Structure 1
Amino acid sequence: MNDVRFPEGRMEIVSAVAALASRDHQRRVWVERRYPRKDYYDDFSTNVHILYDDTRVLEDPSAAIGIYLRSEQEAAALANLAEILNAVFAEMGTESADSEYLKSRLWESVIRSASVALHALLAD
């Protein structure tokens, strides 16, 4: 990961996208609050903050190349994820419960898009 300026931030992005790609994780951790270990916490809001506020990678994925992202392919996959998440927020707002977001008619698209983005981020 020496090809990005902030590899620790990239690792947070990968973790957030992985959470968005896993319906099992979302149900078990976000809704049922069954955490994999003590002192662990995760929810939808945490991942949104990583992707939009902390790294700002979903605001302009192409601008994140070299900072957090390695390629235009990664940026394109994250741009697609941002488009779908923005549609979810347009439909439901930003203050809904995690369980409500998971019921959105767009949520399957979030999972698919996050899966594609995760694959791009993990490809060598």
Structure 2
Amino acid sequence: MKSVIVFLSCSLALFGCKPIQEKILGTYDIDVDSGCSNCEENGPELMVFEDADISDGIPGYYTFEFQKGEAHSGTYSFLHVDTTITVILYPDSASFQYTPILGTMQQTEYRVSGNRIKEKCNGVFRNCVWIRRD
């Protein structure tokens, strides 16, 4: 019985844990009921992270959509992978409001937890939250 438990624990550890590069993939909507008052007005309403093959070395593609139809998109990569990840965004297309960031590098820090992406807003316990749609 003890060996069965050890085997199951090892199996879950090997197959149940996805790398953070895979966990972030998907479409996320802002949770307007969580976080700080400025999350909805300053952060994207919709975040999409795509990567057909995370092991090929080619950066993934992202799209951020904001209020009033504003958006920017491009490729992304990771600077640091841990419980908190630093995502580097390289915008290559943008609506008028975001044209100044084209050709720049935007650094963001997220925590991926289950089907949620969290970003600190006011204080240690307050986070802007996006919930995975798919």
Query: Structure 2 length normalisation: TM-score?
Result: 0.29
- More helix as a share of residues: 1
Query: Structure 1 length normalisation: TM-score?
Result: 0.30
Max radius of gyration: which structure? Answer: 2
- More strand as a share of residues: 2
